[in-house]
Amino acid sequence: MTADLKHLLSTLFKSHPWHGVDVGDNAPELVKAFIEIVPGDAVKLELDKATGHLHVDRPQLFSSLCPTLYGFIPKTYCGKRVAKLASRNTARKGITGDLDPLDICVLTEKTFTHGDLFVNARVIGGLRMIDRSEADDKIIAVLENDVTYGHARDLTDLPQGVVQRLSHYFLSYKRPPGMTDGDTVVQIDQVYGREAAYEVIAQSMSDYDEKFGSEDERLAALGAALLNAAAKSKKAPKKTPAKRK
């Protein structure tokens, strides 16, 4: 039943980018990434979680612009497992998940004019970022088959300056002019390779299943709700049309 329902839904409705699209058969090595913003975007675009539509979150406050395609991995969630992983690897206490899908940066030589699309991304590493005591990892990936970056299989395959540029962006994009080092909003405690990135993705997928249920569970619940609604509709007394005077 769930397979038939999934097929029917796919022919009637556009899938929610976070909840309705699979992460990919070869995850965590190769994942689908939903791109929200592209290099040069002067506004912060973000998925509206309730509707699945991309909306303007805010204008970019300062001069820093994201140097890569940026978005999230579908059917991931930064909950207690991701938080526990960050706490263990940073020796920090009191870390929580940021309760959002897992962020991803995708390197490519190609120019994208807009987001609101999916790409196939090969995971090569990540940044273990802490934002106000919340785990906010940034997975780093390359666009599959990209001419310039597609060869990379680990973070060490990239020029060091590329990773430094990414780190600088995330350390500065919430930092207003005049802020001292002691008032830094975010910290990047670690820069890690692909194996550590795979673990973060796996934990975020488990966090997602615990929070929202597996796809089969959600489809089964939807099917049951539809059957229940249909049964109630059949039992409801039919209204006879009023006679015209």
Q: Take residue 178 and report the two structure tokens written for it.
A: 């005049």
Quote the mean pLDDT of the chain: 90
Instruction: Answer positive or negative: Cα dihedral of 30, 33, 194, 111.
Output: positive
**pLDDT, average across residues 1-11:** 75
Q: Provide the 3-class DSSP secondary structure of residue 245.
A: coil
> Is residue 139, in this structure, part of any structural domain at all?
yes
> Is residue 232, in this structure, part of any structural domain at all?
no
> Is residue 98, in this structure, part of any structural domain at all?
yes
**pLDDT, average across residues 161-174:** 90
Gap between the Cα atoms of 14 and 54, Å rounded: 13
- Are 69 and 106 in contact by the 8 Å Cβ rule? The answer is yes
> Is residue 153, in this structure, part of any structural domain at all?
yes
Structural domain boundaries enclosing 78: 23-175+184-213
Q: How many domains are there within the chain?
A: 1
> 189-239, pLDDT tens digit by residue?
999 999 999 999 999 999 999 999 987 888 788 878 877 887 887 777 766
> Is residue 225, in this structure, part of any structural domain at all?
no
> Is residue 117, in this structure, part of any structural domain at all?
yes
> Is residue 108, in this structure, part of any structural domain at all?
yes
Gap between the Cα atoms of 34 and 118, Å rounded: 4
> Is residue 124, in this structure, part of any structural domain at all?
yes
- Beta-carbon contacts of 110 under 8 Å, excluding residues fewer than 6 positions away, are 143, 146
> 69-100, pLDDT tens digit by residue?
999 999 999 999 999 999 999 999 999 999 99
| pLDDT at site 51 | 93
- CATH for 157: 3.90.80.10
